[in-house]
């Protein structure tokens, strides 16, 4: 009876403590993970908000591209030492596929999140649409700018960064927290068994005293009955 009670109480205490430990470790993991992702997205967003000719500074290397709908690179700037030709091609092809389904700007990545990027439709350069006063007077009636704009090929601006170190840090953190969870769970189970055992010692002593009292009483009753 005491053994079954000890097992049940030990299991209950262990389960509650392990669940609480799991919540704490998950909070630590997602807090650090989200902090890294937010820093990366802020770096990409800030770079997108600036003109391409403005150099970027920060903890993340930034490389920028302007591509056409056919995948041709029209303009590039920034640090591209972390990108090779194959990754650039994968990135461009994936971005061109996503722009058909995404509305406005969007975040995405290639190579399992190692190279995240921010894509946005690029503003057309105004210099190409401007004309001289003579042209505007002489040809203004013959030219239809709305048709010309419709024929113009869309351009997309990509801001790319290197997230491999941060991804490695996230995986290492997950491994460390997993090992910590296993070790602490075993420690909690042993402590729960020890704690419940210590707690039930007075109960055991009380039951033993009752059993001894019943045994003594039975013995005392047997003697008169035997005599009778």
Check: CB of residue 96 under 8 Å from CB of residue 69. Answer: yes
Distance CA 123, CA 149 (A): 12
pLDDT for res 59: 84
* Averaged pLDDT, 15-26: 95
pLDDT for residue 80 is more than 90: no
pLDDT at 28 > cutoff 80: yes
Confidence label for 141 from pLDDT (cuts 50, 70 and 90): very low
Domain limits, the chain:
2-27+174-227, 61-162
Mean local confidence (pLDDT), 68-88: 89
Tens of pLDDT, residue by residue over 195-208, are 877 776 676 667 66
This prediction has a pTM of 0.71
Does 167 have pLDDT greater than 90? yes
- The CATH class given to the 61-162 domain equals alpha beta
- Specify the higher pLDDT residue, 174 or 200: 174
Average pLDDT rounded to a whole number, residues 19-27: 96
pLDDT of residue 219: 59
Task: Return the HEC string of the chain.
Answer: CHHHHHHHHHHHHHHHHHHHHHHHHHHHHHHHHHHHHHHHHHHHHHHHHCCCCCCCCCCCCEEEEEEECCCCEEEEEECCCCCCHHHHHHHHHHHHHHCCCCCCCEEEEECCCCEEEEEEECCCCHHHCCCCHHHHHHHCCCCCHHHHHHHCCCEEEEEEECCHHHHHHHHHHHHHHHHHHHHHHHHHHHHHHHHHHHHCHHHHHHHHHHHHHHHHHHHHHHHHHHHC
Q: What is the mean pLDDT of residues 173-200?
A: 89
């Amino acid at each position: 009876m005491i053994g079954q009670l000890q097992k049940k109480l030990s299991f209950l205490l262990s389960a509650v403590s392990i669940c609480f430990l799991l919540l704490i470790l998950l909070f630590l993991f997602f807090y650090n993970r989200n902090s890294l992702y937010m820093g990366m997205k802020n770096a990409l967003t800030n770079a997108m908000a600036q003109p391409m000719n403005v150099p970027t500074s920060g903890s993340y290397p930034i490389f920028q591209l302007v591509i056409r709908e056919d995948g041709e690179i029209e303009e590039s700037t920034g640090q591209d030492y972390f990108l090779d030709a194959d990754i650039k091609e994968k990135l461009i092809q994936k971005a061109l596929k996503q722009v058909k389904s995404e509305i406005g700007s969007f975040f995405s990545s290639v190579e399992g999140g190692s190279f995240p990027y921010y894509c946005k439709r690029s503003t057309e350069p105004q210099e190409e649409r401007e004309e001289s006063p003579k042209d505007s007077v002489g040809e203004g009636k013959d030219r239809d700018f709305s048709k010309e704009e419709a024929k113009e090929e869309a351009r997309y601006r990509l801001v790319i960064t290197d997230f491999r170190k941060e991804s490695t840090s996230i995986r290492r953190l997950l491994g460390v927290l997993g090992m910590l969870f296993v070790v602490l769970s075993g420690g909690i189970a042993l402590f729960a068994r020890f704690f419940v055992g210590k707690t039930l010692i007075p109960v055991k002593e009380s039951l033993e005293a009752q059993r001894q009292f019943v045994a003594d009483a039975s013995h005392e009753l047997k003697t008169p009955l035997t005599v009778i």
